[in-house]
Structure 1
Amino acid sequence: MTSLKRIIFFLSLLLSFAAIADAQGRNSIEGRVVGPDGQGVLDVRVILKNTNLTDVGQDITDSQGNYRFQNLSDGVYYIEVLPLGTALEGKTLRVDLASFSRRAGGSSEIYRFDFQLHPIRPVEKPLPKKLAEALAFVQDVPPTARQKYKDAQKLLEKNKKEEAWAALRDSIEIFPDYYDALDLLGTEYLGAGHSNVAVPIFQQAVEANAKGWHSFYGLGSAYSLLNMRKDALPPLKKAIELNPYYAEGYLRLGAELAKEEGSYDEAVVIYEKAIKLEPIQAAEPYAALASIYSKQKKYKEAADALETYLKNAVDLKNPEPIKEKIKEFRKKAAGT
């Protein structure tokens, strides 16, 4: 089978205390993410961070490349565009909503920031031969079910999602244990925001194929987006157990573990493993590590992580606030 469409979003909303301090925030940020040809890029993960580089929201671009964040208080934010699983470069932009609001007399506004992404050389590596052989899964699929699956793939290439989903459902109706069709349909529903529908599909997929790491990852991601953390952790851990080379699996698991103080140390270990793998948007795990270390009052480690974040966030327009935060952490580490 052709390689499955990668799940491009993972990370549920991790609201920081700084971002929700003002419950009356009414500002919005919106925009488009387009490719070199000016066409919208579908399923790109866009993350909004505060000045502590803590996630305060995320969105996934639609078929036109649109994203949106609402109910934002005044302040400085960083918009990170992460086209994971593509051959496009990511981007980071610092925005200051406070300055706009002051000019507007404190009224709510909608601020627009568009991003055009450019190609980078793909760096994804195939799985090691032994692992690929271990994960291989072959089914005797009825020809009619296989044809429906192929039809769905062609429809997805034309962005005819509703028709593709119908073809996948027909394929599964013909052969209920059709792993490839289940995995692809679950991935599609997840990407469209239908996490509750994706859960039983992924459950059926992993019952059909106990080695289906991609569906375990999808199942964990769906539970995460439904705020079912206890249910999300086991399948996410199973996904990286089956495929220890899946960097995004570590990132998703690290984000879940980082939600609770009792699992901070485990989250750090997972993020460090993610950093060693490729492909990966290298700035993201360092920002997450800095956030965890600061909460643990490990200020030297937080400063080190932020310095590496700065080095890797090549599209950061204004690094000065991050530099100031590094200085702050250095002073706290020195006890001054």
Structure 2
Amino acid sequence: MGNKLPTPPLHSTHDENGEEAASNSSVSTDSEDSSTDSSDEVDLEAEGEEASLLTNGPAYYNMFLGLEEEEDECVKPNVKKRRGAKGVVYYSGEQGQPVVVPPTRSVWYGMYVEHPQLDSPRFHKRFRRRFRIPYQAYKDHLEELKESPHFERWKEGKTDCVGRPAAPLALLLLTALRYLGRGWTFDDLSEATAISEEVIRVFFHRYIEFGSTTLFQKYVLAPTTLEHGNQQGNEYTMAGLAGAVGSLDATHVLCHKVKHKLRQSHLGFKLNGTARTYNLVCNHIRRILSTMTDNPARWNDKTIIKFDSFVMELYNGDNLADVLPFKALRTPTRFGRHAVHCIICFWRLMDWMRNGKMVP
């Protein structure tokens, strides 16, 4: 705090007889006498000014320099904005004012949730075509969502942070089904349901998580016993392929926005863009029995099949072991070559053993 404020300059007096020096000398003697007292006062004032400058900020700094802030008449005081009701779909009221349409008054809510035409065969046919599942399956699936903790925030009676009721779970499920079945955008779904795009986006990601965990463990069941294998091979037996459990092939799914350093590994020979590939096993009625995690699309079938746990368990004899009298999967049979030559169909060994040899 040793900075001192500048002292005002000394003004000398001039006269005709040249008494300037005397006056200067008298002033200098007076200033020398009061130098000690004035310097102490200036130091104290400077310390006080600097302390207040640090606390009061730029406004006091301008006052200290003599720069008074001019009041700007153009600056208006801050006025709290009053926002009206928020919504997605509006219509003009009798006075021309915008009226918000809640999700419970949307077209989809009236057609599929509140007043569905259950007695009309045309309704069920169109619902199946538009959402890819029957209406009764949709109702059963809705009960699964209501019981799941993944969708706690959208259950009946829940509200958001400002007290507005949450979006109906029945409508949100319809948006996910239409997105998966028809490829609608979130903006299209928002227009049809009067639910904001952000709510639909958040729900869809939660729905995908629910499907990859709960639904996958419940519905995607690979055959592990002889009884389960016979249930999947009825159509193959009728077609003359007795012993087949299912069909296997790699499925490619487009994956945009891949990093540039990973682009080459995601460019396959089936699709023009970058993609991820999955190894799927399904029966003849299009029911998925097994799948694996995704891999780069550049990998061929011979490489992907090495990472399929279901196929490798069959090849090594760890699965469906009760069907085989002994582990003969490495012999050149129609079942044992799958893991090497990537034959499309799985074959369950049903041949009886005679004299240690398999009968075709």
* TM-score interval (norm. to shorter): under 0.3
Higher Cα radius of gyration:
2
Tell me the TM-score normalized by structure 1.
0.24
Tell me the TM-score normalized by structure 2.
0.23
